[in-house]
Chain A
C-alpha cells in the first residue's frame, strides 16, 4: 500500500493517512476483506509515530471503512466502498449546490452548466 505523507502540510498526518486510504477504497485499489498493514508496520513505512497510524485506523473504523479483529489487525469492510462513494457523492453534491446557487443568482441556465460539465468530463479523459 502506497501512501504519500507530507510533513509540511497543514493537514495532520493521521488525517492524510485516513483520506488516502479512503481514496484507495473508492478507486478499488483496496478491496473489501483485504487486511491493512499493521499500525506498527505502517508507522515504520511512513516514518511516523504509532499513535498517529493508530488514530487514523481507529477513525476509519468509527466511520465504518474498516473493522478490526483483535490481535489480527484491520480489514477493509464489505460496505466500505458504498460508504466511501456516499461520502464522495455528498461532497460533490455540496459543491454542485454552490455552483447551482451561483448560476441561479446570475441567471445562467441549466443547459450552460450541463455543457460545462460535459466539457470538464471530456477534458479529463
Chain B
C-alpha cells in the first residue's frame, strides 16, 4: 500500500524533553490515531511534520515529497487543525471564506458554506460568540474546504461534549470516503479512536512504542489478571509490562492466543487503548 505520510528518525531536543528517532508510516486512505500522554511528544511530532518548528533532524515525506524542499507545494494539499491556533476571534466565518480564497488555490467556497449550514455555524457572527464545540467544528471545516489530501489534527476532540465529538467523527469518516485521503489525528481520548482508527501509533516520552493496525492491536494484545503465585510462573519474555495492584497483577501480553496455549489460561480480558496506555506508561517490566 502506498504511504501518504512517512516519518523517519525524527529527533528534536528541548531543554526538558526530546523526540527520539520518531518514525511511522501512514498509508493512503487510512485514519491513524496518534496517542500518548499529554507531553509525550504528539504536538512536537505534528509540528515537525508541518515544518513549523526548526532544528529537528530526520526525514518527513508527504505525497512522496520532502516536507522542507517542497514545503509550499505540500501545504496546498494539507489541512491542519492545531490546538489553540486559529484565526482571531474578532473575525467571522464569512471573513474566513474571503481570506482563504486568497490563500489556497483550491479553496471551495460552496463546500465551506455548505459545511457551515450543515453544522449550524452562523456565517456573520464573530468567532468570539461561538461555543467551544462550534469553534472546533469551524476549525475542522476550515481545514477541509480546500480539498486537502491529508488532514493533520492535533487533539480535535478534546473539550468537546459527546454529541459534538460524534459529529466531528462523522466529518472524518466522510472525508476518507475518498480513498486518496488520509487522516493523522492525535488524541488522548482513546475511545473515539478505537472504532474509527485503522492504525494506532503510540508515543511515550518522545519515543514511538508501537505503530500497528488497530484491529491487530485490540485482537492480539490482552490483559491477564492473576495473583502473585501465577504471576511468578510467567516467563519474562511472554509479557510486555505488568502492574501490581492491591490484590492482583495486571499483565500486558502481546499475543493472546499463544499465551492461552502456553499457560493454559481460559479467559484473557479484552484490551482497550486506555488499558494499553496505562500499562505501557505505568507498568514495569
Partner of B177, one of A14, A44, A49: A44
Decide if A16 is an interface residue (CB 8 Å cutoff): no
Partner of A52, one of B29, B177, B215: B215
Q: Once bound together, how far apart are the Cα atoms of A40 and B179, in whole Å? A: 8
Given contacts A41-B177, A43-B173, contact A48 B195 (CB under 8 A): yes
17 further interface pairs, Cβ-Cβ under 8 Å (given A12-B219, A40-B177, A47-B173): A10-B270, A12-B218, A14-B215, A40-B176, A43-B196, A44-B173, A47-B169, A47-B195, A47-B196, A49-B31, A49-B195, A49-B198, A49-B215, A50-B176, A51-B30, A51-B198, A52-B215
Decide if A115 is an interface residue (CB 8 Å cutoff): no
Q: Once bound together, how far apart are the Cα atoms of A10 and B213, in whole Å? A: 18
- Interface of A with B (CB < 8 Å)? 7, 10, 12-14, 40-41, 43-44, 47-52, 55
A9 nearest in chain B by CB position = B270
List which B140-197 residues lie within 8 A (CB) of chain A: 169-170, 173-174, 176-177, 179, 194-197
Count of interface residues, chain B, beta-carbon cutoff 8 Å: 22
Closest Cβ of chain A to B190, distance in Å, is 13
Closest Cβ of chain A to B210, distance in Å, is 16
Q: In the complex the two chains form, is A55's CB within 8 Å of B215's CB?
A: yes
* Complex interface bits, B54-73 against A, C-beta within 8 A gives 1, otherwise 0: 00000000000000000000
Residues of A within 8 A of B29 (CB): 40, 50
Residues of A within 8 A of B219 (CB): 12
Q: Once bound together, how far apart are the Cα atoms of A15 and B270, in whole Å? A: 15
Closest Cβ of chain A to B93, distance in Å, is 26
Residues of B within 8 A of A48 (CB): 195-196
Q: Once bound together, how far apart are the Cα atoms of A10 and B270, in whole Å? A: 7
Residues of B within 8 A of A41 (CB): 177
Closest Cβ of chain B to A19, distance in Å, is 16
Q: In the complex the two chains form, is B30's CB within 8 Å of A50's CB?
A: yes
Given contacts A7-B195, A40-B177, contact A49 B214 (CB under 8 A): yes
Residues of B within 8 A of A43 (CB): 173, 196
A40 nearest in chain B by CB position = B177
Q: Once bound together, how far apart are the Cα atoms of A40 and B177, in whole Å? A: 6
